[in-house]
């Protein structure tokens, strides 16, 4: 039976669970979160894991690792669903469908249009009287208007160009605007109305701003009617030049609307979601319609699709309780396992993507999602959320386009993964490694970066499961060496990286402590190991001590010699050390592999798939090291460049700030009120400086 391998305490906790809705979490012996699930009846749902024999299945593999259980009782299924996906996003369980938490969508910003104080006599600058439109990504400031989100930076810039053609709003920085003495090139090519040199009256410019905002909200017909009324009013006053300008604006707007083939007068804000499953991978394609305009799409690729789908599939077969997963399905999803997997992926995406984020009131989906999910989203957003599965007319065309793009993106991903697996196999063959477990092949690559010995940093990047594992990257601050001594830096990082692993391996083997020649690991060195996550990844750090299959060193004989000394002192295998030596003339493609165990050099060839993989990993290690070094260097320097990057802070204002507060740290510690006391620093600029430094 499945419960024989589990402790009596765990089984007792399962037996004592209440028959209430809630969320459950499973942990293994190392404390790693395995799975997060939701249930209408916690007792029945959790008991089903331990009452059946799941040997030889994915769920059996997971259940065999469970040593601890945590549960949270909630009031409703909607609360259970929201809590489950919140935990999935924040904790990254091993056996759940995971999507990268990427909410960094760009927006189109129009400055100052919500600043009511501007019209109430507050002191203003010329730049604030003429709002600016710009590409924006970051925190929201309530004084400005934001439109989007857009699926890509390209979509934002295309919208900006469109608004320039029709409404001629400025895009220049405020500092540029305040110092212009003649119109720029954008005015010459009729993409700006020239407010910087008073070539348009403020009231007329604000009319254009208001029309641009209404256009972004999808009120295109209202904009055309307002322009027509203004044109007729100028004509009645015999102001034919102004009337001609508005006529040209209407013509440009009509041309733009005609070119927008996806334009519709009925839909304002809609998201279109299509999912494609193939080869154990899945793609969800999200297309966005905002203000009645189709802005483009973006593909998302979840992790753990096979594991999570297999677990839910087995649990759903013969389940006694109708938990949150039980909801009306279309016929295909009820009979086809692939369609059921696609539906689970789609529901996981909707729950995780829109959790705590703004969403449109209408979703057009390739599969019929369950009512509990829609009810949970409605409860979260405070507005009724509708999902359409079989749309008609233009909505059908949108969905078909999203489905086609999902298929294309998934096919591209599978092709890239196949190519990456071929590279891994080629490298294993070149190094004469066994090729029966290539999925578990682990490579760690090191690089050193500094500027003339300043702010030395070492990087360690990890390649495993045929891809770079961003969550396992590490940076090391290198201290206590002669500046610029790359050999000493490499010795220090390898000792700190593998010293504890060597101790753990020797302890497991019962061999006692490390040799006396091995340098001790100080607490300061432990603190110097910094985990840095560039992007989300679906790979959790490996539990327990484990040496990589290959330790890749960006360097030739000298660096490899240092690595050999460290490994000899730690009692580790020298055969896993591989150096990447530059070829003649340091030309790309002429690199050779150098080994620490005395094997002859290996030249892979410029067109070798193995060399492509080595170069990919080495370049990533170099990138990761140099970005860390630059960040560290910026911290230890005076920090003047931080002020230079703030719009509106020129050399004189910067000098006054530094003189008043004694440096950038003092400026950063000052309040907005203190900053505003400096000569030439307005309240608005003080707020800008404060936000930039925080």
pLDDT exceeds 80 at position 424: yes
Residue 86's H or E segment, with its range, is helix 77-91
Name 476's bridge partners: 458, 529
Q: How far is residue 2's CA from residue 405's CA, in Å, rounded to a whole number?
A: 43
pLDDT exceeds 90 at position 365: yes
Q: Which residue in the block uniquely carries the two structure tokens 């204002």? A: 653
pLDDT exceeds 60 at position 194: yes
E-assigned strand segments in 505-662: 529-531, 550-553, 577-581, 592-595, 602-603
Specify the pLDDT at position 414. 85
Question: Which residue from 367, 445, 436, 368 is spatially nearest to 621, judged by alpha carbons?
Answer: 445
Tens-digit pLDDT profile for residues 73-127: 988 888 888 888 888 888 888 888 888 655 567 888 998 876 544 444 445 677 7
pLDDT exceeds 70 at position 505: yes
Most confidently predicted of 84-98, 465-479, 660-674: 465-479
Specify the pLDDT at position 677. 86
Q: Which residue in the block uniquely carries the two structure tokens 């909630």? A: 74
DSSP assignment, residue 633? H
Instruction: Specify whether the CB–CB gap between 321 and 39 falls below 8 A.
Output: yes
DSSP 122-162: ----HHHHS-BEEEE-S---TTSEEE---SSHHHHHHHHHH
More reliable by pLDDT, 259 or 682: 682
Specify the pLDDT at position 54. 63
Residue 408's H or E segment, with its range, is helix 393-430
Could you tell me the sign of the dihedral formed by the alpha carbons of 583, 589, 594, 600, in that order? Answer: negative
Specify the pLDDT at position 273. 94
CATH topology of domain 270-296+327-412: Nucleotidyltransferase; domain 5 (3.30.420)
C-alpha distances in angstroms, 289 versus 11, 273, 676? 50, 11, 42
Q: Give 587's pLDDT tier (boundaries 50, 70, 90).
A: low
At 613, list the tokens: 């993989």
More reliable by pLDDT, 361 or 337: 361
The mean pLDDT value for 586-607 works out to 81
Q: Give 567's pLDDT tier (boundaries 50, 70, 90).
A: very high
* Class level of CATH domain 433-636: alpha beta
Tens-digit pLDDT profile for residues 312-327: 666 665 444 444 444 4
The mean pLDDT value for 14-42 works out to 89
What CATH code is assigned to 2-91?
Answer: 3.40.1440.10
> Cα angle vertex 468, ends 522, 602, to 5°?
90
Specify the pLDDT at position 493. 93
Specify the pLDDT at position 612. 87
More reliable by pLDDT, 220 or 240: 240
Q: What is the pTM of this model?
A: 0.64
Specify the pLDDT at position 151. 82
What CATH code is assigned to 640-693?
Answer: 1.10.150.20
Mean pLDDT, all residues of the chain: 79
270-296+327-412 shares its CATH topology with 640-693 = no
Instruction: Specify whether the CB–CB gap between 28 and 75 falls below 8 A.
Output: no
Can you say whether residue 356 is alpha, beta or left, with left for phi > 0 and alpha for psi between -120 and 50 degrees?
left
Any idea where the domains of the chain sit in the sequence?
2-91, 107-259, 270-296+327-412, 433-636, 640-693
pLDDT exceeds 60 at position 296: yes
Question: Which residue from 108, 25, 112, 20 is spatially nearest to 68, judged by alpha carbons?
Answer: 25
Burial class (CB in 10 A: 0-12, 13-18, 19+), 562: buried
pLDDT exceeds 70 at position 456: yes
């Amino acid at each position: 039976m499945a419960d024989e391998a589990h402790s009596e305490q765990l089984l007792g906790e399962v037996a004592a669970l209440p028959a209430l809705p809630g969320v459950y979490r499973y942990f293994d012996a190392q404390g790693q979160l395995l799975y997060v699930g939701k249930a209408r009846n916690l007792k029945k749902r959790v008991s089903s894991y331990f009452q059946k024999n799941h040997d030889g299945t994915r769920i059996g593999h997971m259940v065999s690792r469970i040593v601890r259980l945590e549960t949270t009782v909630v009031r409703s299924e909607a609360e259970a669903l929201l809590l489950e996906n919140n935990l999935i996003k924040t904790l990254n369980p091993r056996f759940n469908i995971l999507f990268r938490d990427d909410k960094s969508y760009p927006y189109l910003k129009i400055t100052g249009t919500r600043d009511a104080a501007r019209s109430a006599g507050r002191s203003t600058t010329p730049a604030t009287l003429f709002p600016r439109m710009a590409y924006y990504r970051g925190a929201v400031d309530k004084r400005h208007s934001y439109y989007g989100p857009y699926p890509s930076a390209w979509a934002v810039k295309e919208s900006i160009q469109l608004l320039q053609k029709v409404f001629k709003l400025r895009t220049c920085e405020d500092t540029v605007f305040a110092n212009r003495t003649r119109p720029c090139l954008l005015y010459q090519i009729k993409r700006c109305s020239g407010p910087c040199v008073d070539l348009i009256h403020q009231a007329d410019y604000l009319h254009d701003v208001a029309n641009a905002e209404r256009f972004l909200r999808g009120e295109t017909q209202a904009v055309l009617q307002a322009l027509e009324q203004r044109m007729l009013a100028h004509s009645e006053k015999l102001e034919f030049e102004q009337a001609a300008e508005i006529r040209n604006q209407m013509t440009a707007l009509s041309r733009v609307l005609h070119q927008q083939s996806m334009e519709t007068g009925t839909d304002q804000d809609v998201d279109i979601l299509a999912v494609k499953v193939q080869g154990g991978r899945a793609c969800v394609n999200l297309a966005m319609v905002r203000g009645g305009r189709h802005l483009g799409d973006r593909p998302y690729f979840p992790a753990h699709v096979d594991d999570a789908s297999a677990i839910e599939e087995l649990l759903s077969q013969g389940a006694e309780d109708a938990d949150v997963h039980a909801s009306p399905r279309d016929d295909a999803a009820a009979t086809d396992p692939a369609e059921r997997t696609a539906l689970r992926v789609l529901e996981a995406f909707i729950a995780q993507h829109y959790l705590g984020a703004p969403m449109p009131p209408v979703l057009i989906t390739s599969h019929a999602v369950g009512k509990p999910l829609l009810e949970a989203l409605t409860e979260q957003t405070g507005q009724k959320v509708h999902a359409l599965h079989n749309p008609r007319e233009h909505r059908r065309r949108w969905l078909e386009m999203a489905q086609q793009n999902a298929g294309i993106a998934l096919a591209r991903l599978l092709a890239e993964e196949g190519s990456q697996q071929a590279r891994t196999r080629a490298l294993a063959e070149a190094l004469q490694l066994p090729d029966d477990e290539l999925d578990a092949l682990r490579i760690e690559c090191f690089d050193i970066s500094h500027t003339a010995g300043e702010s030395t940093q070492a990087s360690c990047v990890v390649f495993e499961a045929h891809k770079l594992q961003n969550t396992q990257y590490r940076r090391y601050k290198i201290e206590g060496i002669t500046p610029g001594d790359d050999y000493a830096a490499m010795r220090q990082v390898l000792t700190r990286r593998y010293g504890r692993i060597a101790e753990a391996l020797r302890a497991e083997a019962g061999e006692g402590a490390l040799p006396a020649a091995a340098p001790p690991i100080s607490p300061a060195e432990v603190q110097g190991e910094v985990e840095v996550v560039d992007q989300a990844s679906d790979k959790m750090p490996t539990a327990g001590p484990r040496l990589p299959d290959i330790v890749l060193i960006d360097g030739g004989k000298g660096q490899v010699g240092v690595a050999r000394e460290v490994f000899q002192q730690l009692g580790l295998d020298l055969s896993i050390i591989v150096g990447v030596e530059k070829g003649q003339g340091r030309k790309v493609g002429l690199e050779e592999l150098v080994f620490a165990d005395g094997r002859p050099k290996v030249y892979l060839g410029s067109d070798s798939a193995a060399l492509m993989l080595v170069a990919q990993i080495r370049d990533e290690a170099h990138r990761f090291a140099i970005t860390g070094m630059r960040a560290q260097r910026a911290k230890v320097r005076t920090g003047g460049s931080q002020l230079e990057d703030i719009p509106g802070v020129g050399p004189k204002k910067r000098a006054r700030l530094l003189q008043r507060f004694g440096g950038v740290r003092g400026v950063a510690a000052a309040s907005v009120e203190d900053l505003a006391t400096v000569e030439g620093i307005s309240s608005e600029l003080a707020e800008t400086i404060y936000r930039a430094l925080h």
